[in-house]
Amino acid sequence: MKNYRLKIFCDFDGTITKNDVWINSLGKFVNDKNEFNIICEEMYSGKISSKETGIRHLDLIENFSPEKFDEYLDEETIDEHFKDFVSYCNDNEFELTILSGGWDYYIEHVLKKENIDVNFFSSKMIWDPVNKKLSSEFDHPDEYCRSCETCKRNILINKTNDLDNEISVYVGDGYSDFCVSGYADIVFAKGKLASHCWKNNITYFDYYDFSDVKRKLIKLTGRKNLKHRREAMIKRRDVIMGG
């Protein structure tokens, strides 16, 4: 008998999808590409939060068309191995949850297009057809931290019970995954997230696609004695205790 239960969380843009959707598809409605890129660089350098980045990006949107946006989203592709990974999680009763700093509109569209049923948390995209403006509602913030649109850390902590020996797994690739990676027991990282984990001594596994994640999890779960990562468990406890 295994002595644990996995709770698996993963990013959406650039992790499940091959592109960063809000840059690749939503960005097609931005005429001021220079300002768009400046905002991205300010986020990557830590000058502004990802939340501010999203708000400022939406302000740059011009001549938005939901119909045209849907056409762009139909062209977005996902990791070829993600569907198999979803089946692997279902077969093993590993709860899988998507945590995204992006918006519900395009996540729902892509998942429906691919016939994938996975629970997700994200910001809400609001389209005002009268004023022709896009805005965002942040349904999953942190009460004290203003940096992220969706507080992935809080969701991971709230949905994982250490006392029931639930082991948290996080899969990501980018800036919005930096914070949560420090609180997960097992981290799969590539791109900017891998660099962040390496610089901050966060133990992680490299991956290219979800077949790598599945293969490694099969090996890890075969040991039947998975344990919490001590540093992550302490950090989770500090959050719960208000530290």
Least confident of 35-44, 211-220, 226-235: 35-44
Mean pLDDT of 175-180: 92
Task: Name which residue leads in pLDDT, 4 or 194.
Answer: 194
Q: What is the pLDDT of residues 97-124, one digit of tens each?
A: 999 989 999 999 999 999 999 999 999 9
Predicted TM-score (pTM) of the model is 0.94
44, pLDDT greater than 90: no
3-state secondary structure labels for all residues of the chain: CCCCEEEEEECCCCCCECCCHHHHCHHHHECCHHHHHHHHHHHHCCCCCHHHHHHHHHHCECCCCHHHHHHHHHCCCECCCHHHHHHHHHHCCCEEEEEEEEEHHHHHHHHHHCCCCCEEEEEEEEEECCCCEEEEECCCCCCCCCCCCCCHHHHHHHCCCHHHCEEEEEEECCHHHHHHHCCCCEEEECHHHHHHHHHCCCCCEECCCHHHHHHHHHHHHCCCCCCCCHHHHHHHHHHHCCC
Instruction: Report the pLDDT value the prediction gives residue 85, as an integer from 0 to 100.
Output: 98
Mean pLDDT of 89-97: 97
145, pLDDT greater than 80: no
CATH 3.40.50.1000 fits 5-18+80-124+137-240, yes or no: yes
Domain boundaries, the chain: 5-18+80-124+137-240, 22-74
141, pLDDT greater than 80: no
